[in-house]
Amino acid sequence: MEYLQLFNWYDTYHRDLPFRKTKNPYQIWVSEIMLQQTQVDTMLPYYEKFLKTFPNCFVLASKDLDEVLKVVQGIGYYKRFRMLLEGAKYVVDTYQGNLPSDYEKLLKIPGIGAYTAGAIMSIAFDKPYPATDGNVIRVLSRVYQYSDDFRIEKNKKKLNEINKKLIKNSGNPYKYTQSVMELGATVCKPQNPKCNECPLSNMCLSYQSGTQLNYPVMSKLKEKKEVVYTVLILKYKDGYLLRKRDDALLHGFYEFVQIETGSIHYAQNTLENEGVTVSITDELKPIKHVFTHMVWHIKPYLGYVDQMIEGYELVTDFSLITRSSVLEKILKVML
């Protein structure tokens, strides 16, 4: 590895990002959690708002899930924030609010896996532990023409071992992790890599053979499961009936009456079997929402009832509840 060229490139060209300017372990932890499944430009305003609202583990651990979700609503992939809250409570109870500078201890914290632990160890504590994310996999697989399938876990582990050796030999774990991540994000892109700007082009085997786009090798993902829901936006008195989800998916966020069916008649009959008569007044524009592992096709209807439904709340002000991006889409076609 040409460390000097890589580090000089990073010093000159890295993006001016707030989480690049800190070695605070808590702030690094929050940034890595927020960057999961989320682009940098999208996460930045949430990151700044989150740290302003919850500046340390003590403050975060003192809050309930609703308070946390309200700060990040709209960003998506909310399970990570439930785990972050659990992790903060664990750190306060076990380590007096300070993240430990021990890799194995970090792995015991809820929500922290090998990648996040490696990022905290190398960036916050400057210790040689690898943080092998998608960007790093792409850079190293191209540089070394690593042709094994990265959908297979054992092959990821092999590359992580290579990354472990590289960071140990770097002499600067902090800068190594930052540099390789930044290179993958800004130069060694999945499509249209900027090889003429890359500090590692002289040693990159795939660049020399013109095969950059063949790496990393990834077998095709399974098709996402598709589910159809009928959503009933039911008016009652001066509000609407919603409930808080307790499923793992979108846990803690509010939803209208949502029934897994494409038939409005089936949905009405389901409620009538529970003793609730639903009057439908309008059919709204269908909505598609894509998760990492499934796709929801939503058919929303406006209607009203003359009684409360068990398990639901009467909501008169949508700004006061935790709203998922799914609910935001429904409100957009409704209002």
Stretch 61-79: mean pLDDT: 92
Residue 226 banded pLDDT, cuts 50, 70, 90: very high
Q: Is the pLDDT of residue 151 over 90?
A: no
* pTM score of the predicted model: 0.82
Cα 163 → chain centroid:
23
Stretch 15-23: mean pLDDT: 95
pLDDT at 292: 85
Stretch 119-125: mean pLDDT: 98
Dump pLDDT digits (tens) for 268-312.
Answer: 999 999 999 999 999 999 999 999 889 999 999 999 999 999 999
pLDDT at 222: 83
Which CATH class, in words, describes the domain spanning 3-214? mainly alpha
Name the strand (E) or helix (H) holding 176: helix 173-186
Q: Is the pLDDT of residue 76 over 90?
A: no
Residue with structure tokens 């900027």? 194
pLDDT at 327: 96
195: its two tokens: 């090889």
Dump the DSSP string for 240-306.
Answer: EEEEE--SSTTTT-EE-EEES-S-HHHHHHHHHTTT---EEEEEPPPEEEE-SSEEEEEEEEEEE-S
pLDDT at 247: 86
Residue 335 banded pLDDT, cuts 50, 70, 90: confident
Handedness of CA 233, 327, 226, 79 (dihedral sign): negative
Residue with structure tokens 């970090």? 106
Active site residue 153: no
Catalytic one of 2, 32, 67, 182? 32
Query: What single-letter DSSP state applies at residue 175?
Result: H
Handedness of CA 266, 267, 269, 273 (dihedral sign): positive
Q: Is the pLDDT of residue 94 over 90?
A: yes
Domain residue extents for the chain: 3-214, 225-334
Q: Is the pLDDT of residue 239 over 80?
A: yes
Question: Whose CA is closest to 315, among 246, 255, 272?
Answer: 255
Crossing angle for the helix pair 173-186 and 3-13, to the nearest 10 degrees: 70
Stretch 91-115: mean pLDDT: 97
With a pLDDT cut of 90, the percent of the chain lying above it is: 91
**Interior/surface letters 33-49, b for 16+ CB within 10 angstroms, e for the rest:** bbbeebeeeebbebbee
Q: Is the pLDDT of residue 70 over 80?
A: yes
What is the overall mean pLDDT for the chain? 95
Which position has the higher pLDDT, 163 or 335?
A: 163
Stretch 52-69: mean pLDDT: 97
pLDDT at 223: 87
Q: Does domain 225-334 have CATH number 3.30.565.10?
A: no
Crossing angle for the helix pair 134-143 and 173-186, to the nearest 10 degrees: 90
Residue 202 banded pLDDT, cuts 50, 70, 90: very high
- Distances in Å between the Cα of 194 and the Cα atoms of 139, 186, 190, 213 are 12, 8, 10, 12
Which position has the higher pLDDT, 221 or 237?
A: 237
158: its two tokens: 């092999």
Separation of alpha carbons 25 and 19, rounded Å: 10
User: Considering only 158-162, 248-252, 258-262, which range has the smallest mean pLDDT?
Assistant: 248-252
Provide the 3-class DSSP secondary structure of residue 234: strand
Taking the CA atoms of residue 30, residue 33, residue 36 and residue 42 in that order, the dihedral angle to the nearest 10 degrees is -30
Separation of alpha carbons 151 and 172, rounded Å: 30
